[in-house]
Amino acid sequence: MTIATPVPELQHRTVLLDEAVDALDLTGARASGLYIDGTFGRGGHSRLILSRLAPDGRLVAFDKDLQAIATAQQIADPRFSIVHDSFATMGTALAAQGVTQVDGILLDLGISSPQVDDATRGFSFRNDGPLDMRMDTTRGLSAAEWIATATEQQLEKVIRDYGEERFAFQIAKAVVARRAIEPISGTRQLAAIVADAVKTREKGKDPATRTFQAIRIFINKELEDLEAGLTAAYAMLAPGARMSVISFHSLEDRMVKQFLASKAKVPQPDRRLPIRAVDLPQPQMKLIAKIKPSGEEVSANPRARSAVLRVAERLEDAAR
């Protein structure tokens, strides 16, 4: 595996730092457990978890971003290890180490500020850069490569479904028309095409926001990873263990909400049937909290505005 050379860190504020770690309840005997940080990012959550772990506790972090891996490798703590892969692989990655259960899992689904602010990554249209958008630049197609080959229908579907963009048809049509003239390889170039195609937009929001979100989600298979990651995380939680999940847009939060709700509720049988209470299906998780950033946090870090933290606990008698 090629590891990126550490670079001077662009400013990053970890969203819902204390709330997400507090929710894992690293107290008493639980401080000696094994925990997963599903997205290391720049290590805010991981470092706080490590500060609360007992000497025999353990933390395994995951990240697809090479710069995140480089930052993680600077942590000289024998209780900590980092895996260069998506958190969706946590089950197989830890099974290879003989681990089948963990005492808590934290998933931070947001893109980090250094990724957004680094123009060379192509995540943002605010500074011109190559249209890449890959979390892991060693794998898969870049956004520019996909845009060059996708059909108009594919472009429209991705922009509509992942960006919830009502002008997806117009944007896709404009992209196909422009690429017939010249390659679309820069972030400002794509943003300008979108701006010309979108005639109205919410006050204070750039016309390209939803399109860039949609393409980034698609390129990185973020929703597929989230679906697989939630399933893997649930399967690995020990009885009484908790899952903290921070989402940043409605598609993510809807998936997290529905997944946790499906584990916390059970189908109600027909009351006319002679079923004993002991034979009724039991909930597998308990919903603990839904938390949003405080006004103070949003004022200090506007990117926290859309964040939602959901916390659930695996029930002691939940059947596997």
The model carries a pTM of 0.89
Residue 238, Cα to own-chain centre: how many angstroms? 22
Instruction: Enter the tokens of residue 129.
Output: 């850069």
Distance CA 187, CA 75 (A): 33
75, with CB counted inside 10 A (0-12, 13-18, 19+), is middle
The tens digit of pLDDT for each residue in 46-104 reads 999 999 999 999 999 999 999 999 999 999 999 999 999 999 999 999 999 999 999 99
Residues that constitute the known binding site: 43-45, 63, 87, 108, 115
Flag whether pLDDT at 142 surpasses 80.
Answer: yes
Question: Would you identify the CATH topology of the domain 138-219?
Answer: DNA polymerase; domain 1 (1.10.150)
Give, rounded to a whole angstrom, the gap between the first and last alpha carbons of the chain. 35
In angstroms, how far is CA 302 from the centroid of its own chain?
18
Q: What is the pLDDT of residue 281?
A: 66
Q: Are 20 and 106 in contact (CB under 8 A)?
A: yes
Q: Which helix (H) or strand (E) holds 155?
A: helix 152-163
Tokens at 118, concatenated = 């680094």
Confidence of residue 115 (pLDDT cuts 50, 70, 90): confident
pLDDT at 1: 42
Checking 45-53 for CB contacts under 8 A at 24+ apart, the result is 45/14, 45/17, 45/20, 45/21, 45/106, 45/108, 46/72, 46/75, 46/80, 47/75, 48/17, 48/18, 48/21, 49/21, 49/24, 49/106, 50/75, 50/77, 50/79, 50/80, 52/21, 52/26, 53/26, 53/79
Predicted confidence band of residue 7 (pLDDT cuts 50, 70, 90): very low
The residue with tokens 């020990």 is: 238
pLDDT-derived band at 268, boundaries 50, 70, 90: low
Which tens digit of pLDDT belongs to each residue from 219-236? Answer: 999 999 999 999 999 999
Q: Which two tokens stand for residue 110?
A: 């947001």
Q: How confident is the model at residue 269 (pLDDT cuts 50, 70, 90)?
A: low
26-37 confidence digits (pLDDT tens) = 999 999 999 999
The pairing of beta strand 34-37 with beta strand 308-314: unpaired
Span 164-190, pLDDT tens digits: 999 999 999 999 999 999 999 999 999
Locate CATH 3.40.50.150 in the chain: 17-113+222-314
% pLDDT > 70, the chain: 90
Binding residues for S-adenosyl-L-methionine: 43-45, 63, 87, 108, 115
Fold classification of 17-113+222-314 is: Rossmann fold (3.40.50)
Q: What is the pLDDT of residue 138?
A: 93
Outline which parts of the chain fall under CATH 1.10.150.170: 138-219
What is residue 267's predicted lDDT score, i.e. its pLDDT?
61
Which of 48-57, 202-211, 253-262 is predicted least confidently? 202-211
